Copies of this chain bind each other. A is one copy, B any other.
């Protein structure tokens, strides 16, 4: 019989938990990016989708989700809202199941407007977290395991 390992104490969890810190930073940094987008009626969550779609020309939902590590149902709702605003449009496809979409001219114009504030946000967030932290975060993001990597 191995002895049961001692459970972490509340103090240990409070002092070390990565999840709580990452989530805090995420809230603060998200706000830094959302702020200048507010007059445009855009948030950084949707801006990310616009950027990903712009890179792909024609975007299949599953592909965007794989790139952004987003649940497909989450994207579905977001695309719905963004189509309603005229930023995205569905592209016809032979496969009757597929719903590929692309940026509209409006969406592209919006993204251009959003780019101006982005640089300031990026600088502000980088100053807050530190250059080295940002670099390591970007590298870590590139290493995230993709959903179907073990199928």
Binding site for B on A (CB under 8 A): 5, 7-11, 13-14, 16-30, 32-33, 44-45, 48, 51-52, 54-55, 68-70, 111-112, 115-116, 118-119, 121-122, 125-126, 128-130, 132-134, 136-138, 140-141, 143-145
Contacts and interface: CB of A to CB of B under 8 A. Distances in A.
Nearest to A10: B54
A27 B68 CA distance: 10
B27 A69 contact: yes
How many copies, total? 2
Nearest to A16: B122
Given A18-B129, A24-B69, A28-B69, 18 more contacts: A7-B116, A8-B119, A13-B51, A16-B122, A17-B51, A17-B118, A18-B125, A19-B29, A19-B32, A21-B140, A23-B45, A24-B144, A26-B26, A27-B70, A128-B140, A128-B143, A133-B140, A137-B137
- Chain A contact residues, majority secondary structure: helix
